[in-house]
Structure 1
Amino acid sequence: MRYFPIFIDLNNKPVLVVGGGDVACRKVDMLLRAGAKVTVISPQVHKHLLQLAQQESLLWVQSFYKTEMLVDYVQVWATTDNPELNHKVHQDAKAQNILVNVVDDTPYCDFITPSMINRGRIQVAISSGGASPVLIRYLREKLESILPHNLAIVADFAASKRNSIKQALNSVDERRKFWEQFFSSPLIDKASERHELEELYQGLLTTKDEIAVTGSQVWFEYSNDVELLSIKALRLMQQSELVLYPQDCPFGFIDLCRRDADREQYDNNAQLAAQLQQAKIDQRRICVFIPKNCLDNELKLMKGNNDLLKIADQ
């Protein structure tokens, strides 16, 4: 992983953009949507930026860039077509420990901007680290066609219920299971109005006593090809609270499990048995990875009647 993915809160934060052309327009529009207080320094600006300045959506400093102009900014963008000037901006920003991006000049970037999919509160960022913009555009188009457009409504609704659900369900596990049930409902994708989500929410709350905090085990017999995972396997892996795996398990399988699940390596069957026993006491949902064709008698006893999903080479 070349870059660490992060979302930065720029709301009401001062951001400097040096340059006033087409590239600056794209960056400024994105920054304004994030609520940043944008200053543009350039002798001339694109008509779009001029209009934004006239509307007081940004501050335009009609001047050539000078070092002394770089004060009290949290982020700087160099977007001119003059590499020497862009590198000067980079040098000045680094001297003040300010995050800086020289557009289309990766070695002079503290951060890069991913391709974005926006659904209100929901944002999906995709990046190849600058290696393949065409591939990223292709992936974005595929995701745009898959993600429902009502995600913004669903996200706003869920945010509005953060206090309500805490009053209705006491434990984190109960709340998580409730939301899993809520979001997996086929009614979610069809909802276009808030009242439809409210009806579903209230209906599920009437059955809250049925949301039991129970543990489960699913065993996965892995291969060397993570793409052989079934939809069912991915769903169960995403529901896991504890992932147990041997040392030689390919990281690709472990990485597809739920991100906030605990991950523990086991070195032998005795250690695995102890980990399973403790997880059973804690009533956790467990995902166990074992090598292909290694389900010996001792492991069969531990697995018992729990599901075994084979992910084998074809």
Structure 2
Amino acid sequence: MQYFPLFVDTKNLSVLIVGAGEVATRKLDLLSRTEAEIDVIAPDIAAEIRVYEQKGRIKLYQRAVHADDIADYDVIYMATANEQLNMDYAVLATQKGIWVNVVDNPSFCRFITPSIVDRGRLVVAISTAGAAPVFARTIRSRLETLLPQSLSPLFDFVASKRIEVQHKITSGKDRRLFWERFFNLNNDRFDSGTQNHYQDAFESYGAEGEILLFNENDNAGLLPIAAMPLLQKIDTFYSDMTQDGVNHEAINANHHSLTDINELVRRDASRESIPTLSEIAEKYQHGDRMLLVVNQEKLNKLKAHFPMAKHLQPGAL
């Protein structure tokens, strides 16, 4: 992974855009939604850029950029029509430790701007590492149709309730179950029923235990889509791991299968070695949701001992 995705707090972030044409306007249209402090430098200013100045959203300097301008900023976008100027000033910014983006020139970028689906507090970013931005926009258009606009006020509502939930429910696991219950009741709507669903979620948010089994020699990449929600609810990922956390025998035998299934489980879920049958039974009774990745012999034994367990298999549940 060449580009690591980050969501940066833009409060008090200082941004410079060099250029004020069509490309710079597209960047500004996005950046103006943030809380960043934005300066724009360019000799020729597009009408759309001036609108932002008139609204007081940006500081505008109508002149050519100078080397002295490349200082005291957190982020710089080089968006002029002069490719050589963009590259020269990108090198200067990098030398000064400033994160810089040169539009349409990834090799001079310290970071790249992903394609974004914006639903207020819910933001989805899509990137192809600069290789195929057109395809990233295609994925974005699909997500735009899947994620309703109602998610924006819904997540404002959820944010307003988080402190109350933390006071009422002290256990982190129980809070997660509460929010699962709320979203199961409410789905992605925000309407007159949302407050009722919030109150109803306090009445019953306990979890039934769940045991998922997976053969360490199977290909996790071929699991059905229906398996994904189950894996995302798992509290504990169990496997026969070595001390460094990797079952090298299983990985070498079958294309990193253990690593692949591990990637499908929540990152905050515990990763532990296989417990005894009695320990599994006790955890199940206490409502734990677990995934056990084992060889075929152990899998058969677990299926016989826990008939309620779900065996995840490529192409089937």
- Fold in common (TM above 0.5): yes
Number of the residue aligned with 2:294: 290
For each residue in 1:15-72, what CA deviation from the matched residue of structure 2 results, as whole angstroms up to 9, or x when unmatched? 1011111110011121111121111111111111122223322111111111111231
Alignment of 1:91 with 2:91, yes or no, is: yes
Q: Which runs of 5+ in 1 are unaligned?
A: 267-271
2:221 counterpart (223, 226, 234): 226
Matched residues in 2 for 1:305 and 1:121: separation?
42
Per-residue Cα deviation, 1:145-198 (whole angstroms, up to 9, x for no partner) = 21222111211111011121122222111111010011122x433x343x4211
> 1:294 and 1:129 mapped to 2: Cα distance?
42
Instruction: State the identity %.
Output: 33
| Partner of residue 188, structure 1 | 187
Identify if the C-alpha distance between structure 1 residues 278 and 21 changes in structure 2 by more than 3 Å, giving closer, same or farther. Answer: same
Whether the 8 Å contact between 1:218 and 1:308 is mirrored in structure 2 is yes
TM-score by length of 1: 0.86
Is the partner of 2:187 in helix, strand or coil? helix
In the alignment, does 2:85 pair up with 1:80? no
SS in 1 for 2:84: helix
1:217: which partner in 2?
211
Secondary structure of residue in 1 paired with 2:117: strand
Name 2:194's counterpart in structure 1: 197
Aligned to 1:146: 146
Aligned residues: 299
What amino acid sits opposite 2:262 in the alignment?
Answer: I
Contact 2:165–2:175 (8 Å) recurs in 1: yes
Superposition TM-score, scaled by structure 2 size: 0.85
- What amino acid is the match of 1:308? K
Aligned twin of 2:232: 238
Q: Compare 304-313 and 35-44 and name the one that shifted more.
A: 304-313
Q: Distance in 2 between matches of 1:252 and 1:32?
A: 39
**RMSD value, Cα:** 2.5
Which is worse superposed, 74-83 or 134-143?
134-143
Q: Quote the offset at 1:300 in angstroms.
A: 4.3
